[in-house]
Amino acid sequence: MKTSLKRELRDHGATVVGIAGLRGYLSGEIAHLDRAVSIGVDRKLNEDTLALLVKLQKRTVRFLKARGHRTLAIPPDSDRKKGTFISQLYSLFNHKMAATSAGLGWIGKNGLLISPDHGPRLSLATVLTDAQLTPDRPMAHSLCGGCTLCIEHCPSGAITGADWSRSQPFVEMVRLADCRSHKMNKRKTEGKPNCGLCINICPYGRQNGSNLRHG
Amino acid sequence: MATEEKKKELLEKLRNAVIQYDEDTAKEAANEALAVGLEANDAIFNGLVSGMVEVGKMFEAQEYFVPELLMCADALYAGLDILKPHVQQLDLGVKGSVVIGTVEGDVHDIGKNIVKMMFDVAGFTVYDLGRDVPLDKFVQEQLRTDSDLVCLSAMMTTTMTGMKKVIDDLRAKNPNVKIMIGGAPVSQDVADKYGADGYAKDATNALKDAINMIESLKKMKDEVEAKKAK
């Protein structure tokens, strides 16, 4: 079932798909849904990334429900309808945790999911389920090594330089207040809060240059 | 007009959409129901609500947990939003208005929202004060809206005690108003001790009790008026 689900999602545009085993890591309300299907789509300046992710997520839900399993779709962060009942539970779970647990990548110094092949350029969605899919091997620690490009290029000096590891999940990696205030300033001066230098500068997933963007 | 068979099929589709927490199908079925001329009332009560009643049972039997319950409620609302504008007249024998909220200090409003949904569905006018509501606000709002019913919810034993004060204040201002309480720490004992008219262990029971209460309240009013007339 795992293989056919993965194949179906890839056939329909998913860049990467992984299965996370989360038994013992979830809060009580969602503890019975202890597998996560983590779906990543390479943004590549693609405006339809969000629509594609939502479609893939629905496809996953249909696939699992048709086989008699429960699902809880956690939508991409930028597609969260407020005011629904279920939206109250979204904050209990985070896409990056699913992605690292499913072995799709690690958390880089810039606080983002880094995929070995696609760098920090994946947008994520997650479907929690009780279907007992075999989990992929989780990522244990960071592969950023000695690279400090994102630290050097961060305009707000928000990146602490700490290395992520699964065994120490509560280390501060990005000073969020600094990052946020920088983006708010950008909003004032440029109309948009965009920054993204730590994404553009990351050497992972940039080998062929096709993803290279200049901030 | 749709055939009986088609009707039955659509009601079943609405019901299953709620049980299967499938918003898209709920919307689709609601639109189909309107297209074939199924009465909105029928679609709501024998389709959507019938599904939600089943969900309530599954929740009680611990087949469904909180996430499923919430997604089912979202599916119900997805269908309801489409059907509600087409409701001719909801005839439950009673029409009422209700003030509802989670008491001061308490931010848990999942249960309250589900109860609110049942009132919405039943065609009550609902004044939702939200959560962490200052105790005085319940009394003010009841007086402002002249609602038949006030529903108080609390999730924690520490905030539950605030209900007593609201009940006392409401009684002092308006002895006729009916008061219902609910929430995890609440029991029939607590309801009796605090002087509430009703306690409901879940949303379906809350609605049934509320309808009974409002009926008795209206009867009481009628009797008083009948006496006056003599």
The string of pLDDT tens digits covering residues B192-215 is 999 998 887 766 667 667 767 666
Does B128 share its domain with B78? no
Are residues B22 and B103 located together in one domain of the fold? no
Contact A88/B20, CB-based, under 8 Å? no
Say if the Cβ atoms of B70 and A65 lie within 8 Å. no
> Which residues of chain B have a CB within 8 Å of the CB of A93?
none
Query: Residues B5-9: what's their mean pLDDT?
Result: 91
A63 Cα to chain B: minimum distance (Å): 13
Q: Does A26 touch chain B (CB under 8 A)?
A: no
Closest CA to A55 of A33, A81, A75: A75
Look at residue B25 and tell me if it is in a domain.
yes
User: Is 0.80 topped by the overall pTM?
Assistant: no
Q: Based on the domain organization, do B153 and B75 belong to the same domain?
A: no
Q: What would the DSSP string read from start to end of chain A?
A: -HHHHHHHHHHTT-SEEEEEE-TTSS-GGGTT--EEEEEEEE-TT-TTHHHHHHHHHHHHHHHHHHTT--EEEE--TT---TT-SGGGGGGG--HHHHHHHTTS-EE-TTSSEEBTTTBT-EEEEEEEE-S-PPPPPPP-B---TT--HHHHH-TT--B--PPPBTTBTT---B-HHHHHHHHHHHHHHHSS----HHHHT--TT-TTSTT----
Query: B28: pLDDT confidence band, cut at 50, 70 and 90?
Result: very high
Q: Do A32 and B110 touch (CB under 8 A)?
A: no
Establish if B142 belongs to a structural domain.
yes
Question: Hey, is the C-beta of B174 within 8 angstroms of any chain A C-beta?
Answer: no
Structural domain ending residue among the three candidates B86, B107, B128: B86
Q: How far apart are CA A122 and CA A115, in angstroms?
A: 8
Q: Based on the fold, state whether residues B105 and B179 are members of the same structural domain.
A: yes
CATH number of residue B105's parent domain: 3.40.50.280
Instruction: Let me know if residue B91 belongs to a domain.
Output: no
Residue B29, domain CATH: 1.10.1240.10
Same domain, B37 and B142: no
**A85, B70: Cβ pair inside 8 Å?**
yes
Main-chain dihedrals φ then ψ at residue B13, nearest 5 degrees: -65, -45
Indicate the range of A104-108, A160-164, B117-121, B187-191 predicted with least confidence: B117-121
Whether residue B59 sits in one domain with residue B103? no
Domain count, chain B: 2
Q: How far is B78 from chain A (nearest CA, A)?
A: 10
Chain B contact for A67, CB < 8 A?
no
Q: For residue range B81-107, what is the model confidence (pLDDT) as tens digits?
A: 899 888 765 555 556 889 999 999 988
B134 belongs to a structural domain: yes
Question: What is the pLDDT at residue A211?
Answer: 44
Chain A partners within 8 Å of B24 (Cβ): 58
Domain boundary among B38, B67, B86: B86
Question: How many C-beta atoms lie closer than 10 Å to residue A86's C-beta?
Answer: 23
Across the interface, do A32 and B65 touch by the CB < 8 Å criterion? yes
- Residues with pLDDT less than 70, chain A: 45-46, 207-215
The answer to whether residue B144 sits within a structural domain is: yes
Name the minimum distance, in Å, from the CA of A125 to any CA of chain B: 17
Interchain proximity A84–B67, CB inside 8 Å? no
Residues of A in contact with B68 (CB under 8 A): 70
Regarding whether B135 and B79 lie in a shared domain, the answer is: no
Closest approach of A86 to chain B, Cα-based (Å):
5
- Considering the domain architecture, whether residues B172 and B104 belong to the same structural domain is answered as yes
Flag if B65 and A89 touch (Cβ within 8 Å): no
Nearest Cα of chain B lies from the Cα of A210 at a distance, in angstroms, of 37
What is the three-class DSSP state of B80?
A: helix
Distance from CA of B228 to the nearest CA of A (A): 47
| Together in a domain, B65 and B15 | yes
Whether chain A has a CB inside 8 Å of the CB on B73: the answer is yes
Last residue of a domain, one of B32, B65, B86: B86
Secondary structure E strands in chain B: 97-102, 125-128, 149-153, 178-182, 198-199
Residue B150 sits in the same domain as residue B220: yes
Q: Does B87 touch chain A (CB under 8 A)?
A: no
**Virtual torsion, Cα A21, A22, A23, A25, nearest 10 deg:** 160
Q: Are residues B63 and B42 in the same domain?
A: yes
- Mean pLDDT value of segment B43-61: 84
In a domain, B195, yes or no: yes
Are B67 and A30 inside 8 Å of each other by CB? yes
Residue B210 domain boundaries: 97-229
Query: Does the residue B92 lie in any domain?
Result: no
What is the mean pLDDT of the segment spanning B161-167?
92
B113 in contact with A, Cβ within 8 Å: yes
Q: Cβ separation of A86 and B70 shorter than 8 Å? A: yes
Q: Whole-number mean pLDDT of chain B?
A: 85
Longest dimension (CA), chain A: 52
pLDDT given at position A83: 75
Rounded to two decimals, the ipTM of the complex is: 0.80
Contact residues for B14 (Cβ-Cβ < 8 A; gap 6+): B26, B29, B30, B33, B43, B47, B48, B51, B79
Is there a domain that residue B208 lies in? yes
Domain co-membership, B80 together with B102: no
Looking up tokens 């501060």 gives: A172
For A84, name the nearest residue in chain B, comparing CA atoms only: B74
